[in-house]
Amino acid sequence: MSDPPGPLTRILESAAKALDQAIAGTEPRLKVQQYGTVRSIGHGIARVEGLLGAQSEELVQFEGNFPGMVLNIDPHGTGIICLDRNPHLNAGSRVYRTGSVLDVPVGTALLGRVLDPLGRPLDQGGELRTTERRPVEREAPAIMDREPVTVPLQTGIKVIDALIPIGRGQRELILGDRQTGKTAIALDTIINQADKDVVCVYCAIGQRGSSIAKVIADLRHYGAMGYTIVVVAEGDDPPGLQFVAPYAATSMGEFFMEQGRDVLIVYDDLTRHAIAYRELSLLLRRPPGREAFPGDIFYIHARLLERSTHLRKSLKGGSLTALPIIETEAQNISAYIPTNLISITDGQVYLSPLLFQKGIMPAVDVGKSVSRVGGKTQLNAYRAVAGDLRLTYSQFEELETFSRFGTRLDEATRRTLEHGKRVRESLKQIQYDAIPVVEQIAVLLAVNAGLLDALPVEQASPAEQAIRHAMREGSRELHARILSGAVFRQQDREDVLSSARRAIHRMIEKSFHGNA
């Protein structure tokens, strides 16, 4: 008599029976998978034969599960850009169609994370837990789906908020030579959104790893990573990855815009994006145009920036504000890429290396900077001071230039120059020192009224600090009126100026007793 089967035997018999039942109920089906063969390889591109039926911008997979994207469809082959480093790619490797377009994960799980343009984490935050993906290339909202830009986006930077205002849904270009503070302005703007319910996306394109690490460290230090997504394509990444980076970052931001949120996206910078696209185009043997850029270089940026807008209320009323950054060479803002982007955007903030060398920071050249939309979004209190301030500053810059040619100046010219020096001093601001709206209004109103003219120039900064401190402790009702955008009455102006006068008087007395 044989022994009864053991537990292991019973498990194996049960598994075998379940497997037989599964096989019996399954009908084999053929799965057709189209593939091509790599014929030649360039820096970040591959030429493929046999990939018939491939569509433009279709996602493909190289052997080893490395992604690529179709960019050229020629009679004798397909041009594909590589989206990842693939050391094993060589002639003869297979390339498989996926039948889908490149997409990225979206959702609130991305907040606080550092990702590459394919949505893969680059930080130590673990795997992303998202349920939704969106294509990186999407159509811009239709004209009838948009509303005028009406709400200001406060940067916390006096010279911008007062003279070159930005609205939510606007596209404001930041341009200037290398090392003039372009990223610093974008970073300060992100940090200033801490209590304003604005989601921020910082897209680094072609930057050095050390520069990106410093930006991320600053965002963490000032508590901005909690509402920020960082998308990174480093300078040593394939040019294809740098090319898709801003489109991927925009798709991540559009998710929040379509939920009714306000979003700020920074592209740092589109000069390197254009260079990466030029490199790909030349390797794929597309006809070169001006400065060797391909003919559609304008279109690749236009279709990106047109996705930034303010949606109408029936579409939840969200907004996507873009701050694209580009780098000029030798202050040449009439070069090909700068003029393209100036014509696409709604204004520009120009940073002058001459002002930077003089220690005037932020080095914003007010004469060459403009906001074509933001003035309509400005609070009434800003409007009460901004017009006179811009005129005074422009007159001062012109007179300062001519005054160098002679030493004999009439009294009126001398007063204008002295007043202008105080205005320029009041527009200086150190990085990471975001100034609230009410304090900005008080400082600018005081300097515009000439309250600082009697002080030495070196005392302008202490006087500003005294005025800011007085406003922080001032009337809550006045604060609420300014922030609500209500009409800035003459009485409000007098209240602010009287508070500023008292603050300056106390500062002078304190300084006098201290010196005594």
Pairing between β-strand 228-234 and β-strand 114-115 as defined by DSSP bridges: parallel
Catalytic residue among 303, 372, 383, 390: 372
Please tell me the distance from the alpha carbon of residue 297 to that of residue 175, in angstroms, as a whole number: 18
Exposure class string for 396-408: b at 16+ Cβ within 10 A, else e? beeeeeebeeeee
Written as one letter, the residue type at 394 is S
Q: Give the orientation angle of helix 182-191 with respect to helix 209-221, to 10 degrees.
A: 30
At residue 250, what are phi and psi to the nearest 5 degrees?
-65, -40
Residue pair 261/232 in contact by the 8 Å Cβ criterion: no
Question: 99: part of which helix (H) or strand (E)?
Answer: strand 94-101
Rounded Cα distance between 177 and 331, Å, is 6
The answer to whether 372 is a known catalytic residue is: yes
What the block records as the tokens of 167 is 């609205």
Chain position carrying tokens 């091509």: 36
Q: Which two tokens stand for residue 229?
A: 């997504």
The whole-angstrom separation of Cα 442 and Cα 444 is: 6
Contact yes or no for 344/171 (Cβ under 8 A): yes
| Residues taking part in catalysis | 372
